Amino acid sequence: MTRELTEITVVGGDKTGLIARVTSLLFERGINIEDLDQAVREGVFRMTTRVDAAEMETSRGELRRALAELGRELDVDIQVRFPSDRDARRVALLVTKETHAPEALLEAEASGELADDGAEAEIPVVIGNRGDLRSLAERYDKPFYDVGDGKGNTDEDRLLDLLAEYEIDLIALARYMRILSPEVVFRYEGRIVNVHPSLLPAFPGAEAYRQAKDAGVRVAGVTAHYVTTDLDQGPVIAQRAFDVPPGADVDEIKRRGQPLEAEVLLDAVRLHLADAIAVHRGTVHVREDVAVDARLGLSRAAVDANPDEPVDGEPLTRSRPSLTDD
């Protein structure tokens, strides 16, 4: 099995010596650093450290207290996530107006199909930047919070408070129509899954289906990806494709795409919850030691229908009928 690492995330203002202070604290407690990554976006500093805490010379509570005290001293937020803190992983649904994607995840949880490969998961909260889907959350007996200002702008301080209150492990953007700032993304990087209505990197940003119509594409699709601070450029988890009939308008393209949006988002959430995928150098890879039937792209039937010849430098292995054959 893959060795489970503890994740420590530092978010705040960029300060000289900050990295050294954190890593020294870990070293003094016998904690081995396996991976360290840092970035600065829009003046916000983020450091994510994955450590082996199996033989640390302190308790979990004392490590949390020491890091919290250091965070107050440096005026940064430090979060610690031990891999075995809870049996069930907790997923927050972020929503706006469209029901198809969030309803698919809520229905999957209700039927016991949200997690795969024996993993346990729950959706403890639904959060919207508008109040439109309150009734949907209530139908599934979920608390709903509107953190918008009436115009769709998000109170991210309130959002972060809710994510912390509900001890969220994964954020699913179920057609959440707002860009998350680095303040949110940095705290949950690698734990935010979005669904976008195009085959990224084609047609990023708003109105993707309209972009597909205007470009005259014959094949369109949807993408589930991890969210980064670069809009619609995060690592791709899975994609689905569909035909665009000649003359199809935007509404028809959307009707074909929305069921696949729900499907691919649910699949991506399942893969993440099962720890079946990992990001390496900006690309999602399926872990070899996790037995999960991961569908990342086309269906098997579509793959089998793809031609495999002719190929440059290779002779044809079967004859092809001429245009005049009966």
Dump pLDDT digits (tens) for 170-209: 999 999 999 999 999 999 989 999 999 999 999 999 999 9
pLDDT of residue 300: 84
Compute the average pLDDT of residues 250-260.
97
Q: Which residues contact 8 (CB under 8 A, 6 or more apart)?
A: 22, 26, 48, 49, 50, 51, 67, 78, 79, 80, 81
Q: Among the listed ranges 215-224, 258-267, 283-292, 301-310, which one has the minimum average pLDDT value?
A: 283-292
Dihedral angle of Cα 116, 119, 125, 127, to the nearest 10 degrees: -50
pLDDT of residue 84: 64
* Mean per-residue pLDDT of the chain: 90
Q: Among the listed ranges 38-42, 213-217, 219-223, 287-291, which one has the minimum average pLDDT value?
A: 287-291
Q: How far is the C-alpha of 115 from the C-alpha of 271, rounded, in Å? A: 8
Cis before 310 (ω within 30): yes
Does residue 53 contact residue 30 with C-beta atoms inside 8 Å? no
Compute the average pLDDT of residues 40-64.
91
Q: Among the listed ranges 40-49, 233-242, 296-305, 310-319, which one has the minimum average pLDDT value?
A: 310-319
Q: How far is the C-alpha of 277 from the C-alpha of 271, rounded, in Å? A: 6
pLDDT above 90: percentage of residues in the chain = 71
pLDDT of residue 117: 59
pLDDT of residue 229: 93
Band (326; pLDDT cuts 50, 70, 90): very low
Burial of residue 201 (number of CB atoms within 10 Å: 0-12, 13-18, 19+) = exposed
Per-residue pLDDT for 48 more than 60? yes
Q: Which residues pair with 121 in a beta bridge?
A: 89
Q: Which residues pair with 193 in a beta bridge?
A: 172, 226
In three-state secondary structure terms, 282 is coil
Please provide the DSSP assignment of 99-127 as one string.
-HHHHHHHHHHHTT-SS-TT-EEEEEEEE
Looking at the annotation, which residues are catalytic? 232
Pairing of strands 120-128, 88-95: parallel
Sign of CA dihedral 175, 181, 183, 186: positive
Per-residue pLDDT for 86 more than 70? no
pLDDT of residue 1: 37
Q: Where are the domains of the chain?
A: 6-85, 90-300
Q: Among the listed ranges 6-15, 211-220, 269-278, 309-318, which one has the minimum average pLDDT value?
A: 309-318
Find out if CATH 3.30.70.260 is the number for domain 6-85. Answer: yes
Please give the CATH superfamily to which domain 90-300 belongs: Formyl transferase, N-terminal domain (3.40.50.170)
Q: Which residues pair with 127 in a beta bridge?
A: 94, 145
Compute the average pLDDT of residues 2-7.
72
pLDDT of residue 120: 83
Beta strands in the chain (DSSP E): 6-12, 32-41, 44-52, 76-81, 88-95, 120-128, 144-146, 170-173, 192-196, 219-226, 236-243, 277-280, 283-286
